[in-house]
Amino acid sequence: MSGRRPRRERAAHGERPPQSPRRTLPIALGIALGLAAAAGGAALALTHGNSAPAPCGPAAQGGSTSAALELSGTNPITGRPVSLASYAGKPIVLNLWASWCTGCSAEARALATFARTHPQAQVVGVDVQDSVADAKAFYRRFGWRHPSIFDPQGLIAARFGLQGLPATLFLDRRHRVVAKILGDTNLTGFEAGYRKALRG
């Protein structure tokens, strides 16, 4: 005998038939993905519209705030290389954005004004999961002149553990992250974050 009891006998004793692992895995995976999506949605809701810069702790940049941030890549507008290291000794306003992001559009003119009126600061963008054509159209629409680093796969954004865009990081003269704004902001927010970078 095989040792297996007929299904009717198991049912009579209140037992459930064994389930195949292939059937339970998608269910468990679906539950996990659902919870992750809900958590991500909650994080997006919390970060949207936060116009005041906050001090940047280690979790915000994936490391100690005493370490200088190093980023480099290609500018989607000009095709030229862009590196934070080339702005040594200069505070940096690092703005993560995308042409498809509504919050990025909401703050774009304020960022252009900030860059124009604060030449002593260097604004650098990170264009996340975008296309070159859409990035160029965004630059033309809002009159941006500062360089951006192309991040088509979102790998740079993932380093910061971001749940949504836009996000702005303020780096002091040694390129340590000293403040951040998660969500869209205005000229006052950019200026307040920049002041923190000057004190860093």
How far is residue 41's CA from residue 179's CA, in Å, rounded to a whole number?
23
Whether residues 69 and 114 fall in one domain: yes
One domain for residues 38 and 68? no
Please tell me the predicted confidence (pLDDT) of residue 163: 86
Res. 64: pLDDT tops 60: no
Q: Which of 24-28, 121-125, 176-180, 193-197 has the lowest mean pLDDT?
A: 24-28
| pLDDT(166) > 70 | yes
Q: What percent of the chain stands above pLDDT 70?
A: 68
Pull the structure tokens for residue 56: 């940047």
Tell me whether residue 171 is in a domain: yes
Q: Confirm whether 64 is domain-assigned.
A: yes
- Number of folded domains that form the chain: 2
- 161 and 64 housed in the same domain: yes
159 or 42: whose pLDDT is higher? Answer: 159
162 confidence band (pLDDT: 50, 70, 90): confident
Indicate whether 189 and 98 sit together in one domain. Answer: yes
Q: Tell me how far apart the alpha carbons of residues 59 and 159 are, in angstroms, rounded to a whole number.
A: 10
The encoded tokens of residue 89 equal 């000794």
Domain CATH for 175: 3.40.30.10
190 and 121 in a common domain = yes
Same domain, 68 and 150: yes
Return the pLDDT at 133. 98
Over residues 115-141, the pLDDT tens digits come to 999 999 999 999 999 999 999 999 999
pLDDT band at residue 23 under the 50/70/90 scheme? very low
More confident residue, 1 or 23: 1
| pLDDT tens digits, one per residue of 33-63 | 333 333 333 333 233 445 667 654 433 333 3
20 and 40 fall within a common domain: yes
Whether residue 58 is contained in a domain is answered as yes
- Check if the beta carbon of residue 95 is closer than 8 Å to that of residue 88: no
> Residue 68 in contact with residue 197, Cβ under 8 Å?
no
Three-state DSSP at 197 gives helix
Residue-level pLDDT at 52: 65
Percent of the chain with pLDDT over 90: 66
Give the range of the structural domain holding residue 34, as residue numbers without chain letter.
7-45
Q: For residue 1, is it within any domain? A: no
Query: Alpha helices of the chain — where are they, by DSSP H?
Result: 7-12, 21-47, 58-61, 102-117, 132-142, 155-159, 187-199
Whole-model pTM? 0.71
For residue 80, pLDDT beyond 60: yes
